[in-house]
A = this chain, B = another copy of it.
Amino acid sequence: MPRRNGGPRRPSVTDVAKQAGVSVGTVSNVLNRPDSVSPATRAKVEEAIGELRFVRNASARQLRSGEITTVGAVVLDIANPFFTEMARGIEDRLAQDDHTLMLCSSDEDPEREARFLRLFEERGVRGVIATPSHGSLDGLLALRERGTDVVLLDHTSPVPEIGSVAVDDVGGASLAMNHLLDLGHTRFVFLNGPLTLRQCVDRRDGVIATLTSRGFDPAEALVEVNLDALNADAADAAVHRLLAETTERPTAMFCANDFTALGALRALRDCGVSIPGDMAVVGYDDVIFASMLTTPLTSVRQPMHTLGWTAADMLLRESEPGRSRQVEFEPELVVRASSGSAI
């Protein structure tokens, strides 16, 4: 039975009732419907609560009443500012309705993800917000089918029963490329990540489409580099290789992610390429330190806080009829020194 660690049993409503000389029902009323109790008895009960240091038992409460004020969230990586910023947004929306967030990091491991989903379900959470790891949505779909509300984050939902909040990655890439084209650049590098990630595929589509629509032949104007992972070291190495091989060097570079942009910047400086003079650079995500680099980084900003806020909002309004279930936001370009002007 639940005891204080090593100590005596925690006081229950029964103890409070005894101490105050009333029935348990009255104690419960004081706790949940204080207006329906006379001031005198309420005072007595409250005093007893204080004296005994009574603290409600959430398990019993939830078991009986079924009232749920917890929402579960699984993100890909809790160490990435992109996700923590979204978590902030979720939390802020939940706080408005006195709900709380239970945050877990799947580390892109489907097994961990499944474990957390089961945990949430056993807990009987109000709903789950998830950034699915690695394509497979089966677990989430099954969960939804068993009756738990689900909202997808940074991933568009393929089915109408599951809501989703995402960002237009095709459009984001267009923003970046149009910016560079407007500056007069004609030869580009696209430093992209693995094409198993939806984000990378979408951003590539945006790059290609933009070039084509502006009258360029991608096969000619674009050098594509695909990294194994979206991190700085991989980017650093790739850029070194690129500079060594290429004879006619491009003048602009679009990176799929700010971390890769960071690595690229390091490599470029290493090789004596000035930024933005010899090479304009644009990143993606606008993470916290993008503006704090020695050469502040132009980047595509995603409304991270709003994403989280909206997902939580969608979950809490789940029962409302006829609202839109698939939301997509537009990213925004933040221009800083690293792109500059080609003229």
Contacts and interface: CB of A to CB of B under 8 A. Distances in A.
A124 interface: yes
How many copies of the chain does the oligomer comprise? 2
A68 B240 CA distance: 53
Given A7-B147, A262-B289, A121 B295 contact: no
A214 interface: no
Interface string A91-109: 1000000001111110000
Interface stretch (A18-26, A81-89, A195-203, A327-335): A81-89
A91 B66 contact: no
Given A5-B148, A62-B59, A149-B5, A103 B100 contact: no
Given A5-B147, A84-B78, A102 B102 contact: yes
Interface in A51-79: 53, 55-63, 66, 68, 78-79
Contacts of A288: 79
Interface string A242-284: 0000000000000000010011011001000000000000000
25 contacts: A2-B66, A4-B146, A5-B147, A5-B149, A5-B319, A6-B147, A10-B146, A53-B146, A55-B121, A56-B122, A57-B122, A58-B59, A58-B119, A59-B62, A60-B63, A100-B116, A100-B119, A101-B104, A102-B102, A103-B103, A262-B289, A263-B292, A293-B293, A293-B294, A294-B295
Which are the 4 A-B pairs with shortest beta-carbon distances? A4-B147, A2-B66, A58-B122, A59-B63
